[in-house]
């Protein structure tokens, strides 16, 4: 396979979802690009790091990569007001 076909499998830089795996110190352990399988709705395509090869999973994992900030846990608190801001009257 070549990089030219990544978009066909939805694992290109602009067509896939990038998942970065980090350790407890926020050091990168690796990254995978996940894309929807056009041929099989119950599967996903993945590309590991900068490898050229594309693999197909036996389950659809693309739908689990939800980017909503509340999906994985609690609602984030609202931002703290800026205590240095000056109200002009």
What whole-number distance in Å separates Cα of residue 72 and Cα of residue 61? 15
Per-block average pLDDT, block size 10, for the chain (89 residues)?
A: 85 90 91 87 90 91 72 73 70
What pLDDT shows up at residue 73? Answer: 66
- Specify the 3-state DSSP secondary structure of 45: strand
What pLDDT shows up at residue 85? Answer: 67
Domain ranges in the chain? 3-64
What pLDDT shows up at residue 46? Answer: 93
Nearest to 40 by CA among 61, 19, 21, 25: 61
What pLDDT shows up at residue 26? Answer: 87
What pLDDT shows up at residue 41? Answer: 80
């Amino acid at each position: 396979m070549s990089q030219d076909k990544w978009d066909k499998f939805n694992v290109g830089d602009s067509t896939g979802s990038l998942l970065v795996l980090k350790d407890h110190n926020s050091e990168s352990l690796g990254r995978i690009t996940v894309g929807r399988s056009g041929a099989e709705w119950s599967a996903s395509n993945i590309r590991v790091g900068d490898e050229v090869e594309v693999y197909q999973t036996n389950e659809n994992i693309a739908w689990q990569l939800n980017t909503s900030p509340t999906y994985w846990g609690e609602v984030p608190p609202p931002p703290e007001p800026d205590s240095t801001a000056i109200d002009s009257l």
